[in-house]
Chain A
């Protein structure tokens, strides 16, 4: 079955700097890759997603890139702000419609 790895597990950046989180997946049939942000004690919220027929997608300060050949995708956050501090999860969905999540990255944006 699908296996999703995520790095780093923790990331600290200064406010205004960029943050990059990387995920790899194992099932070449996976075709949808969402990213979720989870603040402490709250439910995961979708922040951006990408489908396998697209290489890059951007939404304001957030972007996601996908390399299907290498089976990895990355989240890029530019001009980070303290409110970006949270745990971020990547996920991959295969043909079976089931989602497999990465273990998460705890991002801390230092003021």
Chain B
């Protein structure tokens, strides 16, 4: 069965510090993974997807099949990064399964 685990519900870092939001998945097939973000008073929106291998707003995420992880990283956190972050897995049939989310707070 598909499962996405985000072990941290809350994460606080200081501005300028590195940030890493953890995501582990369980899936028998070839995974397709995403990070979605919800800023205050905004809609949930796509941040990045692993197949794109791109950096968005300074964030990157590498799929590690050995560790079944897709952690989201940014070297220097900014205040505007404060938001709710969700890791998501494509279940193979056009359905996306989300983790429980991590609320990131960047302290000025």
Are A and B genuine complex partners?
no
Residues of chain B having any CB pair with chain A under 8 Å? none
